[in-house]
Amino acid sequence: MLYTNITEKLLGLQGLIVKNIESDDRNIVIYAEFKRKTQLR
């Protein structure tokens, strides 16, 4: 069985889009957002 994106599945991060990563000597800041899901009414 081939597992793709297993880390995303384990952490519940399916659909997460990483926009930017900034780091310095002490910090890492990750800017991300989830894909929007369309709701039908």
State the Cα–Cα distance between residues 18 and 21, nearest whole angstrom.
8
For 4-41, the pLDDT digits (tens) are 677 778 787 888 888 999 999 999 998 988 887 777 77
Q: What residue ranges do the domains of the chain occupy?
A: 15-41
Q: How confident is the model at residue 2 (pLDDT cuts 50, 70, 90)?
A: low
Residue 1 pLDDT exceeds 70: no
State the Cα–Cα distance between residues 7 and 27, nearest whole angstrom.
22
Q: Which residues of 4-39 are buried (b: 16+ CB within 10 A; e: fewer)?
A: eeeeeeeeeeeeeeeeeeeeeeeeeeeeeeeeeeee
